[in-house]
Amino acid sequence: MRRPQRGGSKLREQLSNHDKKGEAVEHRESIHGEWSSRWVFVLAAAGSAVGLGNIWKFPYIAGENGGGAFVLVYLLCIALVGIPIMMAEVLLGRRGRRSPINTLRFLTQEGHHHPAWEYLGWAGVVAGFLILSYYSVIAGWALSYLVWHITGTFQGIDAAGAQQFFADLTGSPERLLAWHTIFMVMTTLVVARGVRSGLEQAVRVMMPALFVLLLVLVGYAATTGHFGEGLAFLFTPDFHRLSGNSVLIALGHAFFTLSLGMGAIMVYGSYMPHGASISRSTLMIAGADTLVALLAGMAIFPVVFANGLEPGAGPGLLFQTLPLAFGQMPWGSLFGALFFLLVTFAAWTSAISLVEPTVAWLVENHGFTRAWAALATGLAAWVLGLATIFSFNIGADWTLFAHCQIEAGVEVCSGGKTAFDLLDYLTSNIMLPLGGLVIALFAGWVMQRRLVQEELRLYGKGFEVWYFVLRYLSPVAMIVVFLGAIGIL
Ligand code: PFF
């Protein structure tokens, strides 16, 4: 029994087409359009995957968790969990051909499954929205550093000066708001132009540029005389420095970096051309994402070592350590500007994929034009971004979960989580792994095997191995991450 669909007229028409034509479902196209080729899908999904996670987060968490051994565990997580779940997410999207919310609704109705599975689509949209709100603020930092490098501000700066710059920026709500606003407008403008004229054009230009910039920067790092030291740090495993928690961080990061568990890859999959191979495309996307993370490490660590700086500097690695290093080097302003241009492109192509699931849903169900849907989504995430902005200044003391104790009669609290910490923690460590778990369960256990195989067009041993990993290995790994994140492990 099919329940009546809610939704806009285009969607209803499309659904009734499906009803009338039965198997013609195979050749449906999303009402939002389709990528012009499989290559564009690969570029777009790689654009979503390659972002602040690769260039900002990966190098500093690798630095904090001892380098090589962490990198090895991370690579295993990408191969054993990331790739199988990405294939599942793309196949759900391409079969549903709608926004994640409606894709899940369609698939549960198609297979007569319990309607509760629809909530996966909703949870994804909410997660994407929350991530976008803080992602845009951090991307705004990159924009401001881009401008500062262009104007040569960091030339000859010392450590205290670099720290002061960062503190001045993050301490000023007005400045953070201005950069956050600019980044959100850039993102919204691309999404408002549509799949072909907006998203596709953006990734066609920015992704090749990003790879060229990265190679130039790795080449530059090779001239520092400390390239070998950087490589040794990234690739020599020292298992003494790897804790159980590092493994959980690696697994959670594999999810974040591949944009899994929240519908971004699903909605991009819904625009994927009919005949394109999901498994081969996924391997390319995950390969590109991993390559960029490793190349970013190779571009950053030699520069850090060349200046005798600390690789485990934490989140400040990109915004305090690196400008200091560039400030000391020949051509530092130019290469610093190129570096932050790279970060901006990477964050921009990821942010558009965070907006798209909500925009597609608003167009499908609420009759919005794409431009209004992009504006409404951008505006709402912009407002929520205020919580992150204030976490660094006037709201730095508004924390939860602090450990307080009485010392010499005075209550001293530490380790509290700001709004930004909470948003990052909630999305990266809880919502994305849970979303990934549910995707694996839905594609592996709920959907009919025949439908899954039909969409994937993968047969023989290849399919059996993927299906086994998706049904057993990935869910267990996800549960481990989740339990670790909430402190049970
Ligand atoms: N993968 C992006 C990064 O590594 O920065 C972050 C991200 C984008 C996460 C889109 C989730 C998403 F849907």
- For residue 351, report the distance from its CA to the centre of ligand 1, in Å: 8
| SS3 state at 154 | coil
Phi and psi for 356 in degrees, rounded to 5?
-55, -45
pLDDT recorded at residue 147: 96
Over residues 151-177, the pLDDT tens digits come to 999 988 888 888 899 999 999 999 999
- Check if 53 has its Cβ closer than 6 Å to any atom of ligand 1: yes
| Closest to 67 in 3D by CA, of 305, 255, 258 | 305
Say how many C-beta atoms besides its own lie within 10 A of residue 464's C-beta: 11
Highest mean pLDDT among 12-26, 75-89, 233-247: 75-89
- Check if 256 has its Cβ closer than 6 Å to any atom of ligand 1: yes
Tokens of 243: 């804790």
Q: Check whether 21 has a pLDDT greater than 60.
A: no
Please state whether the predicted TM-score (pTM) of the whole model is above 0.85.
yes
- Tell me how far apart the alpha carbons of residues 193 and 259 are, in angstroms, rounded to a whole number: 22
- Check if 51 has its Cβ closer than 6 Å to any atom of ligand 1: yes
- Check if 127 has its Cβ closer than 6 Å to any atom of ligand 1: no
Determine the distance from the C-alpha atom of residue 111 to the mean position of all C-alpha atoms in its chain, rounded to a whole number. Answer: 30
Q: Are the beta carbons of 265 and 45 closer than 8 angstroms? A: yes
- Tell me how far apart the alpha carbons of residues 219 and 36 are, in angstroms, rounded to a whole number: 33
Higher pLDDT, 434 or 82: 82
- For residue 45, report the distance from its CA to the centre of ligand 1, in Å: 10
- Check if 259 has its Cβ closer than 6 Å to any atom of ligand 1: yes
Weakest mean pLDDT among 38-52, 229-243, 285-299: 229-243
Q: Where are the domains of the chain?
A: 35-384
DSSP state letters, 304-331: HHHTT--TT-TTHIIIIIHHHHHHHSTT
What percentage of the chain reaches a pLDDT higher than 70? 93
Q: Check whether 129 has a pLDDT greater than 60.
A: yes
- Check if 354 has its Cβ closer than 6 Å to any atom of ligand 1: yes
- For residue 125, report the distance from its CA to the centre of ligand 1, in Å: 13
Tokens of 37: 């080729």
Phi-psi region of 375 (alpha: psi -120 to 50; beta: other; left: phi over 0): alpha
Q: What are the respective helix, strand and coil percentages of the chain, to the nearest 5?
A: 75, 0, 20
Q: Are the beta carbons of 419 and 174 closer than 8 angstroms? A: no
Average confidence score pLDDT of the chain: 88
| Closest to 199 in 3D by CA, of 316, 46, 70, 61 | 46
Q: Are the beta carbons of 324 and 309 closer than 8 angstroms? A: yes
What's the rounded mean pLDDT across residues 90-100?
Answer: 96
Q: Check whether 18 has a pLDDT greater than 70.
A: no
Q: How many residues in the chain? A: 489
What fold is seen in the domain 35-384? Amino acid/polyamine transporter I (1.20.1740)
pLDDT recorded at residue 1: 35
Which of 54, 131, 199 is the best mutation target for the ligand 1 pocket, counting ligand atoms within 8 Å of the beta carbon and taking the most?
A: 131
Type of residue found at 259:
S
